[in-house]
Amino acid sequence: MGSLPFTTSDLQTSTSGVPSSPTLLCTPLMGTTVDQMFIEMRKAKEIGADIVEIRLDCLRNFNPRQDLEILIKQSPLPTLVTYRPIWEGGQYEGDENKRQDALRLAMELGASYIDVELEVAKLSVAHDFNMSISGKKPDNFKVIVSSHNFHNTPSAEAIGNLVARIQATGADIVKIATTALDITDCARIFQIMVHSQIPTIGIVMGERGLISRLLSPKYGGYLTYGALEAGAISAPGQPTAKDLLDLYNFRLIKPDTKIYGIIGKPVGHSKSPLLFNASFKSVGLNAIYLHFLVDDVAKFFNTYSTPDFGGCSCTIPHKEAALKCMDDIDHIAKKIGAINNICHRPDGKLYAFNTDYIGAISAIEDGLRELNGKAPGTESPLAGKLLVVLGAGGAGKSLAYGGAQKGARVVVANRTFERAKELADKVGGKAMTLEEVEHFHPEEGMVLANTTSVGMKPKIDETPLPKHALKHYCLVFDAIYTPKDTRLLREAKETGAVIVYGTEMLIRQGFEQYKNFTGLPAPEELFRQLMEKHA
């Protein structure tokens, strides 16, 4: 499995046979009546779609001439008419001749496009259909010939042969839809779109294929599909038109757009694309940030290795596995043993950072400065402080190493003493069990950092430390951000401690990642507004 055999320069030269034009956004209409489809058409126009796909196989009691005349002639947007049979993922189970008659009628009544399937029962439907309308096609009318594979994504050679077969039918536009078993399957579809000599729609279905839909404008796809709403998709993994336009800045994606994203499993819940795409747009940066659902980290980096892929954030469960794929690692990240920020340098090398510790430590430092009434100076306010870190996992390591680097005296407490001791020894600190922390108060004014999951949704009534023990701390930080206001923080505030929210760590580590990706300071106010709005 090699890397992608194309770069931005290929995009500019390999599609010379195809006129360059923006990728169109098509919204499928799934209504069961003509009236419902009309409501959907108006919504699609309001959202900003370019075309509507009239799915005739969704209509109950379909009357071809009457319904098509109304739907096509009164549509506020150009129409693509599809009458998908059950053998190709649709709902139509009737006579094949009647189905093709309806598509011919759609052409006669003014549809801009019709979609006809390549074959049924090894007989070429598309070729015969195109022969039947030869010489009758109106100006600006186009036939899309499609092939759907609901099992996998074949080899690049097999897909190339399929494209040739579709072209041989006389198709105006080629449509290939495959199924992603791995996110790297999308690379083969990108390759086909880039090198195709006729307009091509390339889609990889399923959640692992999402990037094929989002990056269609980058790789020269003729159109991509966006659902009216999340519950009304016409194929697996289809995003909504609203998300394409508003979340992913679909209209701003060009062949030279830089690609960033977050790798994880699961990853769809991440708000990072919201923060980064809005930030890129606000400063006019030609970049997009995506969700990457990754199963095999090494395979992902090996496949998407061109300079167009500028870097990624890294979340569970890949923070440690990704280390092995890096060419260079920041010295603190190396000590922590986990990374969350990867940059693809111009020389092709992957350089990794851990920004979690910077986000958490800087938030704690600012909290201490606020408490002491001090302006930022050269010395960290954590220097000499007793920092008690609850938990010895990834976030615990970040806090322990970060605190030690700033001159804090670190105590690591964990459910299992052995893990606490292993981490404490590495940072020159002290180890104990979580149970011991309640009665541990050698001095007043300590700093507490919780990195355990105790108190996270849904168990929001739990706390890692009883309220009476919090009176010995001047500042309490909780890495949990769902909920933002944990029981630990509420009770710490009641005892008079300064509190630092987990959302602050999340936002600040994002600032660092943005800076590493772009070389520019993050638009901090925008980050904060978006986090507050979508909390």
For the chain, give the mean pLDDT: 92
What span, in angstroms and rounded, lies between the C-alpha atoms of 336 and 423? 9
What are 224's strand-pairing partners? 25
Least Cα distance to 167 among 196, 137, 134 occurs for 196
Q: Are 171 and 199 in contact (CB under 8 A)?
A: no
> Is residue 403 within 8 Å of residue 383, measured between CB atoms?
no
d(CA 355, CA 362): 11
Judged against a pLDDT cut of 50, whether residue 13 lies above it is answered with no
Query: Confidence band (pLDDT; 50, 70, 90) for 10?
Result: very low
pLDDT of res. 121: 41
Backbone angles phi, psi at 433, to 5 degrees: -85, 165
Q: How far apart are CA 529 and CA 535, in angstroms?
A: 10
pLDDT digits (tens, 9 = 90+) for 382-434: 999 999 999 998 889 999 999 999 999 999 999 999 999 999 999 999 999 99
How much is the average pLDDT of 184-198? 95
Instruction: Reply yes or no on whether the pLDDT at 224 is more than 70.
Output: yes
Instruction: Enter the pTM of the model.
Output: 0.88
DSSP per-residue letters across 53-73: EEEGGG-SS--HHHHHHHHHH
- 265 and 295 in contact (C-beta within 8 Å)? yes
State yes or no: pLDDT of 5 exceeds 60: no
User: What tens digit of pLDDT does each residue of 481-505 get?
Assistant: 889 999 999 999 999 999 999 999 9
Burial 336-365, CB ≥16 within 10 A → b, else e:
bbbbbbbbbeeeeebbbbbbbbbbbbbbbb
Residues in the chain: 535
Pick the range with the lowest mean pLDDT from 75-79, 179-183, 391-395. Answer: 391-395
The pLDDT value recorded for residue 123 is: 54
Q: What are phi and psi of 431, to 5 degrees?
A: -120, 150
pLDDT of 505: 93
Q: Judge contact between 432 and 411, C-beta under 8 A.
A: yes
- The pair of structure tokens assigned to 439 is 């009665």
Give the pLDDT score at 319. 82
Distances (CA, A) of 282 to 75, 287, 522, 527: 34, 11, 11, 11
Do the Cβ atoms of 174 and 145 come closer than 8 Å?
A: yes
HEC string of 209-263 equals HHHHHHCCCCCCCCEEECECCCCCCCCCCCCEHHHHHHHCCHHHCCCCCEEEEEE
Cα distances (Å, whole numbers) of residue 350 to 280, 292, 326, 327, 510:
22, 17, 5, 5, 19
Q: What is the pLDDT of residues 112-146, one digit of tens each?
A: 999 999 975 445 677 788 888 887 888 899 999 99
How many Å is the maximal CA-CA distance in the chain? Answer: 92
Active site residues: 148, 175, 319, 356
Residues 199-219 have pLDDT tens digits of: 999 999 999 999 999 999 999
Mean of the pLDDT values across residues 452-461?
Answer: 92
List the structure tokens of 525: 């106010």
Closest CA to 383 of 404, 366, 398, 361: 404
The sheet with strand 446-450 has its strands ordered as 430-433, 409-414, 386-390, 446-450, 473-478, 498-500
Distances, alpha carbon 365 to alpha carbons 3, 65, 370, in Å: 43, 72, 9
